[in-house]
Amino acid sequence: MRKLFTYKIFLLALLSFVYSATKANGYDEIKTVKGEAEFYWKQLLTPENIDSNRANSIKVSIPSSWTNYVLQSGEKPKKEGYGTYRFWIETDQENQSLVIPKLWSASKVWVNGEMVSKRGEISKTQKTKPMMVEDVVPLPKSSKYEVIVQVSNEVLFNGGIVKPFKIGFTGSILKKEKVNNIKELLWIGAILIMSFYHFIIFIFRRSNQPALFFGIFCLLIVLKLVSFGENYIYQYLKLEAGLSFNWQSKIYYLSSFMLFPIGLLYIKSLYVENSKNRVIKWFSIISFAYGVFILLTNVMLFTSTLRYFQIVIALGIIYIIYLLFKASRNRKTEAYAQLLGIFAMLFASANDILHSTNIKLTPYGEIIPIAFAIFLLMQIYIVAKRFTNAFKEVEDLSKNLELKVQLRTQEIEKQKEQLAEKNTEIVDSITYAKRLQDAILPSDNTWKEKLPNSFILYKPKDIVAGDFYWMKEVNDNILFAAADCTGHGVPGAMVSMVCSNALNRVIDEYNVTIPSKILDKTAELVVNTFAKSDKNVKDGMDISLCNLNLTTLELDWSGANNPLILIRDEELVEYKADKQPIGYFAEKNDFTNHRIQLQQGDVIYLYSDGFADQFGGEKGKKYKTGRFKEFLLSLSEKDLVKQKELLEEEFNNWKGKLEQLDDVCVLGVRI
């Protein structure tokens, strides 16, 4: 906190120095040239021919824009055009130099008949090439100097000698120019540091949107100063780097006008609850669209539209003031400081923009830096206040933290005990449900007794399962099946109880033994069972059902979505199931019965889809049915016990560390 405060005070002191009004010794010796001059409209005259055209001149005051003059015809010159000035400077000093200001927009200057300065390309047409750079020229020894200035303008709002010439001792002028350059460079550097400082804050804390918008705001100020300022960077860009007037104007006006939407977003981010997103959205869209317009058009076109965008800015300023007053009414003390800073920036922006259109709120055309210093001071106050409040909250939290931690720990321990108790109850209930489900499954002894040369791979996803295997003996026939009910876990297990009970009823009560007929009747019983509920229950099962005659080796089989695999002499045959479940189905048909004459050594497989649907392997993909059938074919000659071991190993290796997605049930029987 102390380091932050020291840093802010240092920065504020630096900014105060940068824009202080302190005068260096000798500056009083530099005089501003003000007074009367001859002006020749629509004439580009030189020392050789100016006297012969004197009758066409008018008397004007300088510095001033020629749009304020009244010609002999009674008309006022337009901003676009060209003309010549002549005035005289008298002095009784030696070692004098003349400061030629930024003339709008291309110019030539003669002193006592000798050309001393040329900026841009003067033309009587639109071929004028502006260049606005201050120049300092030493004067020959004389007590009176005739100064002739040619100016042409096709772009800017003002034309002519808008800023004053100055005369003084060469050393004093150079010294003042150097100091002014250093002051502005320090100002640019200070703002640039503030911009990067806030960008870094935003990088480390992305939720701090005010830091982002304030950083952009600072960066726009820097671009504005660099593109049209009194500093070495500007002079280098114009004289050495060849920055065109077109791009110079784009950068200047774009950075000036974009201060408005960025400032609006900054205020909105500070007072979110007081702002209307729709209003800010439309102001932002219009502003950024106008920025694109500036980038894509030439200077003459976009400068002719600046007045219209100023209307948008004026409306936006009113909305910003409304937001700040609303925030201050809600007792946000920071809003008062923000209001002062914003008013300073708004006034300065309005002054600078209007000054460019020859409307003067103040005598100065560039006061945004001073207003920004005031604005920055208010931000320092707000940040310091927020840090102070934050540290107070931390201190209060630290005092009560240990007590809060103890209370919270006790609460968590109590909740932990309650959760453990509930978990034990739930696990006990599900474990008991497993005992009930196991009761409907054929016992291992029964299965081995009826089908000794077989295996069952049964891997529930949870404690209880939706998959189940089933067996029933009727005379010399063994009925057996692998079934997959809707869902898994407790819901799946409940459905399996209903479906298993339905299978038993069909055999015991209705004396049906043909697999297709069993499935038809089972589907009817399941649908009727679920239809008793007032809920729309559409659960059921997929099943592969066999009826094997142990004497004749005839196998009757029928399937609901689940197939039968027969492997004989290392060849795999798949019997397709009917594409309908045991349960509600809109287009239900009778199930198909398949009669298969088996041979000694044949192996048949029944299975649910849990094995083939498991994700795993190096790329985390499904195992798939094709791979599963190929693996069964590779196992078919092996002992059935070994087959089960290899199937389980293959499943576990494929699954790896991934979660098991569904119940797995695979039955294998060798004839």
- Dump pLDDT digits (tens) for 311-335: 887 787 788 777 777 766 665 566 6
Closest CA to 352 of 365, 370, 361: 365
- Per-residue pLDDT for 60 more than 70? yes
Q: Which pTM value belongs to this model? A: 0.51
Question: Which stretches of 251-344 are assigned E, i.e. beta strand?
Answer: none
Return the number of other C-beta atoms located less than 10 Å from residue 459's C-beta: 20
Task: For residue range 249-274, list pLDDT tens digits in order.
Answer: 888 888 888 888 888 888 778 766 65
Burial 497-534 (b: 16+ CB within 10 A, else e): bbbbebbeebbeeeebbebbbbbbbbbebbbebbeeee
Which has more confidence, 512 or 283?
Answer: 512
**Residue 83 scores a pLDDT above 70:** yes
pLDDT at 285: 87
Q: At 208, give phi and psi (nearest 5°).
A: -85, 75
- The pLDDT value given to residue 4: 45
% of the chain residues with pLDDT over 90:
36
Q: What is the maximum span of the chain, computed from C-alpha positions, in angstroms? A: 140
pLDDT (mean) for 100-108: 88
Quote the pLDDT of residue 358: 57
**Is residue 43's pLDDT more than 50?**
yes
Q: Is the pLDDT of residue 561 over 70?
A: yes
Q: What percent of the chain has pLDDT over 70?
A: 87
The yes-or-no verdict on residue 577 having pLDDT over 50 is yes
Distance between CA atoms of residues 311 and 343, nearest Å:
18
For the cut 90, the answer to whether the pLDDT of residue 462 exceeds it is: no
Q: Given this model, what pLDDT does residue 390 score?
A: 67
Give me the pLDDT at residue 428, please.
Answer: 66
Query: Are residues 643 and 455 in contact, defined by beta-carbon separation less than 8 angstroms?
Result: yes
Give pLDDT, residue 548. 95
* Backbone dihedral angles phi then psi of residue 327, each to the nearest 5 degrees: -65, -40
Angle value at C-alpha 245, between 239 and 251, nearest 5 degrees: 105
Q: Would you state the structure tokens that stand for residue 238, as one six-digit string?
A: 């114009």
Is the N-terminal amide bond of 363 cis, ω within 30° of 0?
A: no
Mean pLDDT of the chain: 83
Average pLDDT over residues 564-584: 93
The pLDDT of 154-160, averaged and rounded, is 81
Interacting residues of 395 by C-beta distance below 8 A, sequence separation 6+: none
Using the predicted structure, report yes or no on whether residue 288 has a pLDDT greater than 70. Answer: yes
For residue range 641-650, what is the model confidence (pLDDT) as tens digits?
Answer: 999 999 999 9
* Span 41-45, average pLDDT: 94
Q: What is the 3-state secondary structure (H, E, C) of 154-187?
A: CCCCCCECCCCEEEEEHHHHHHHHHHHHHHHHHH
Peptide bond just before 636 cis, omega within 30 deg = no
Residue recorded with tokens 């709002």: 157
Three-class secondary structure assignment of 318-361: HHHHHHHHHHHHCCCHHHHHHHHHHHHHHHHHHHHHHHHCCCCC
Kindly state the average pLDDT of the residues 560-564.
Answer: 95
